[in-house]
Amino acid sequence: MPKADIDYSLYLVTGRELLPEGKDYYESLEESLQGGVTVVQVREKDIDTGEFVEIARRTKEITDKYNVPLLINDRIDVYLAVRCAGIHIGQSDMPLAQARALAGDDAVIGISVGNIDEAQAAIAGHADYVGVGAVWPTGSKDVTKKVKLGPDGVGRVLDVLAESKTPAVAIGGIHAPNVPFLLHGSISPNARNSLDGIAVISAVVASKTPREAAANLRNIVDSFKRVRRSAPAAPAFVLESSPVRSTEALVSGVAALMEVIQREVPLVHQITNNVVINDSANATLAIGASPIMATNPRDVADLSPAIGALLVNFGTITDKEGMLVAGRQANVNRKPLVYDPVAVGATSFRRETSKELLAHWQPTVIKGNAAEIGALAQLTEVESRGVDSVGKGFADPANVVRTLARKRAAIVVLTGEEDYLSDGDVVLRTSNGHALLGKITGSGCMTGTLVASFCAAARLHHLAGGKGSVFENDSQLVQGDMLLGALAGVLVFNCAAERAAERDDVRGPGTFRAALIDELANMPAADLVKRAKVEIL
C-alpha cells in the first residue's frame, strides 16, 4: 500500500472518555467525519491490546467509508494488526528510526514536538508530519509539565520546519473561538510558514453535535488556507477585500468614522496605567464614545460581549490577569484589541509580560513609539529611556512597521513626529500634531485610547453596511477596516492637538491639556479633512 497522502486540515484524535453521556463512540466518529474531519488518530491509553485492535479495526471500517486516513497512537503492533495509514509517536515512545524500521516505508509516521530541538530531530529523522504542542492548557491530557507554546511558540517551531516543508498540526486546548487566533498568530516570523491543520480531541469528541462542531472548525481552517493561498504576504484577517485607497478616500473615511462614534457611542474597554486613566476616560468621552476602565478578571470576562473594542496598555502592569482574560475574550468575541506595550524594551519584566500577553491573545493593532516598536521587532536601532524613545529614530520606519505588521499579523502604528501605520501591505505616513504633546504626560496613551475607539467605530460601520455579522472568511478575527480605524485615532488626536495649541487661551502644558480635551469634543469633521496630512508610501 503506498504511503497515504494526508490532508491535515482537521485532525481528530479520539478520546472515548470525553464523549457526552449516552453518545456512542462510533456514532460520534461517523458524525464528525460527515462534518469534515480529514484524518483520524485512534488514541487509547488504558485498554488491553486485543480491545485496542478491535476498536482500531472498527474505526478503520468507518474512516474507510469516508476515504479518510487512520493513524494509531503510539502502538506499532496495533498499526501492524490493522494496516491503516500510519502511526503517531511521542518523545517518550519508541525512537523514530526504530519505529520506521518496524512500520516500514509506507507508513505515515508523525511525531510530537514541543520545541525547536525536537522539531529539528523530527526533520532529521524524516518524520512525515509533526504534532506541535501543547499550544494551551487542556483538560484532555496532563500537560502541566509541558511548556504551553501559545501561537507565538508554534510560529517559532514552524520557522524551523519551513525549509523541509514538514507538515505541522497544532494540538492542545484548541477550540473554535481560539482557532483564528492560533492560525494567524502562529504564522512564522521569518519564513511565514503556517500550520497545515489543527488536531483536537474535546472540541469535537465532547460535543453533543460532533458533525456541526467539526464543520465549524473545518470552515475556519479552510478559509484561513484559502486566504493564505490568495494573499500569502498579507495579514488577511484584518483587511477588507479592497486595499486600494487614495488619501482623499482615507480622510473622508476618517470623517465618516467620527460620525459613527457620535451615533453609536461604542463602549471602549481600557485596561490602562494609573498615570493616565482619568485623561484617557475623558478623551474617550470627548470624542463621543463611552469609556469603561474595568480591570478585575471576572469583571472583564463578563464585559467582553458588550464592548466595542479593548485597549490593553501595560504602563504600570498592575492588572496582568485582567489583561490576559480580557484579551482572550476580545479574540473569542472577535472585537478589536489594541495593544500599547508602554516601555516594553525598558525592563526584563516588561519584555516577559509582553511575551506572555502576546502568547495568550492576538492584537488587532499594536501601537508604540520607536523604542517600543523597536523592542517588539527586536531591533536595537532605537533605545528607550523610561517610557520615551531616545535617538534619531529608525532609518527606514516604513519598512519597520510593514515588517512587524506581517510578523505579528496586526496593524502596526509607530508614533512620533511623523506617524507610520501599516497593515503589512500598505504603509501610511501622517504628519499632524504639535510639540506641546511632548510636554504633557499620557499623550501616547490617549492616542491608543482613540485608536481603540475608532477601531470600534470601524467595526460598527462594517456591521451597519449591510454585511451583518457575516465574516469575509471564517478565520477573520475582526470585521471592518482596522487600518482606517487606527488612522482615524491618530489623526483625530493630532489634529485636535493642533487646534488646541492654536488657541489664545493656551499658555503652556496645563492649559493645553484642558484645551485638548475640548478640541477632541469640538473639532468639526470638515476641519480635520482640511488639516489631515496623510501620505500613502
Ligand X SMILES: Cc1ncc(COP(=O)(O)OP(=O)(O)O)c(N)n1
CA-CA-CA-CA dihedral for 346, 348, 349, 354, to nearest 10: 80
134 prior amide bond cis, ω within 30: yes
Exposed/middle/buried for 242, CB within 10 Å: 0-12, 13-18, 19+?
exposed
Closest residue to ligand X using C-beta atoms: 131
Q: Give the residue with the Cβ less far from ligand 3NM, 141 or 192.
A: 141
Take residue 286 and report the three cell numbers written for it.
470627548
Binding mask 144-183 for ligand X (x = CB under 6 A): -------------------------x-x------------
- Provide the residue type at 228 as one letter: R
Q: Are 483 and 238 in contact (CB under 8 A)?
A: yes
Instruction: Quote the CA–CA distance of 132 and 118 in Å, as a whole number.
Output: 10
Q: Give the residue with the Cβ less far from ligand X, 141 or 355.
A: 141
Q: Which of 35, 36, 86, 131 is in the footprint of ligand X by CB under 6 A?
A: 131
The reply to whether 495 belongs to the active site is: no
Helix (H) or strand (E) run with residue 89 in it:
strand 86-89
Please name which of 272, 271, 498 lies closest in space to residue 387, comparing C-alpha atoms: 272
Q: Does 414 bind ligand 3NM (CB under 6 A)?
A: no
Binding mask 110-129 for ligand 3NM (x = CB under 6 A): --x-----------------
Q: Are 307 and 269 in contact (CB under 8 A)?
A: yes
Choose from ligand 3NM, ligand X, none: what does 202 bind? Cβ within 5-8 Å by kind: ligand 3NM
Q: Which of 10, 55, 169, 201 is in the footprint of ligand 3NM by CB under 6 A?
A: 201
Q: Does 133 bind ligand 3NM (CB under 6 A)?
A: yes
**Residue 83 in 3-state DSSP?**
coil
Sole window of 132-140, 187-195, 354-362, 521-529 interacting with ligand 3NM (rule: CB under 6 A): 132-140
Take residue 490 and report the three cell numbers written for it.
491618530
Instruction: Quote the CA–CA distance of 262 and 243 in Å, as a whole number.
Output: 26
Q: Does 174 bind ligand 3NM (CB under 6 A)?
A: yes
Sole window of 84-92, 225-233, 246-254, 512-520 interacting with ligand X (rule: CB under 6 A): 84-92
User: What minimum distance in Å lies between the beta carbon of 38 and ligand 3NM?
Assistant: 16
Binding mask 190-229 for ligand X (x = CB under 6 A): ---------x------------------------------
User: What minimum distance in Å lies between the beta carbon of 8 and ligand X?
Assistant: 9
Instruction: Quote the CA–CA distance of 460 and 455 in Å, as a whole number.
Output: 9
Q: Which of 110, 172, 444, 448 is in the footprint of ligand 3NM by CB under 6 A?
A: 172
Q: Does 141 bind ligand X (CB under 6 A)?
A: yes
Side by side, the strands of the sheet bearing 365-368 are 290-292, 267-271, 309-313, 337-340, 365-368, 411-414, 419-422, 427-430, 534-536
Q: Which of 73, 329, 384, 443 is in the footprint of ligand X by CB under 6 A?
A: 73
Please name which of 9, 8, 21 lies closest in space to residue 206, comparing C-alpha atoms: 21
Q: Does 297 bind ligand X (CB under 6 A)?
A: no
Instruction: Quote the CA–CA distance of 308 and 336 in Å, as a whole number.
Output: 7
Q: Does 109 bind ligand 3NM (CB under 6 A)?
A: no
Instruction: Quote the CA–CA distance of 256 and 177 in Å, as a whole number.
Output: 31
Q: Does 99 bind ligand 3NM (CB under 6 A)?
A: no
Task: List, in order, residues 6 or more apart from 344 with CB less than 8 Å away.
Answer: 314, 350, 351, 354, 368, 372, 375, 376
Binding mask 152-171 for ligand 3NM (x = CB under 6 A): -------------------x
Choose from ligand X, ligand 3NM, none: what does 41 bind? Cβ within 5-8 Å by kind: ligand X
Please name which of 202, 51, 209 lies closest in space to residue 141, comparing C-alpha atoms: 202
User: Is the CA virtual torsion 117, 120, 125, 129 positive or negative?
Assistant: positive
Q: Give the residue with the Cβ less far from ligand 3NM, 198 or 446.
A: 198
Choose from ligand 3NM, ligand X, none: what does 93 bind? Cβ within 5-8 Å by kind: ligand X
Distances (CA, A) of 246 to 231, 253, 428, 431: 21, 10, 11, 17
Choose from ligand 3NM, ligand X, none: what does 174 bind? Cβ within 5-8 Å by kind: ligand 3NM
Closest residue to ligand 3NM using C-beta atoms: 133
Helix (H) or strand (E) run with residue 14 in it:
none
Sole window of 138-146, 229-237, 303-311, 441-449 interacting with ligand 3NM (rule: CB under 6 A): 138-146
Going through 242-356 in order, the beta strands assigned E by DSSP cover: 267-271, 290-292, 309-313, 337-340
User: 9-32 burial, b for 16+ CB within 10 Å, e for fewer?
Assistant: bbbbbbbbebbeeebebeebbbbb
Q: Does 234 bind ligand 3NM (CB under 6 A)?
A: no
Q: Give the residue with the Cβ less far from ligand X, 99 or 428.
A: 99
User: Is the CA virtual torsion 203, 323, 195, 409 positive or negative?
Assistant: positive
Q: How many residues bind ligand X (CB under 6 A)?
A: 17
Q: Does 203 bind ligand 3NM (CB under 6 A)?
A: yes
Instruction: Quote the CA–CA distance of 25 and 16 in Å, as a whole number.
Output: 6
Spot the catalytic one: 84, 445, 455, 495: 445
Helix (H) or strand (E) run with residue 318 in it:
none
User: What minimum distance in Å lies between the beta carbon of 58 and ligand X?
Assistant: 20
Binding mask 22-61 for ligand X (x = CB under 6 A): -------------------x-x------------------
Q: Give the residue with the Cβ less far from ligand X, 89 or 373.
A: 89
Positions annotated as catalytic residues are: 445
List residues near ligand X by CB under 6 A. Answer: 11, 13, 41, 43, 73-74, 88-90, 93, 112, 131, 133, 141, 169, 171, 199
List residues near ligand 3NM by CB under 6 A. Answer: 13, 112, 133-134, 138, 140-141, 143, 146, 171-174, 200-203
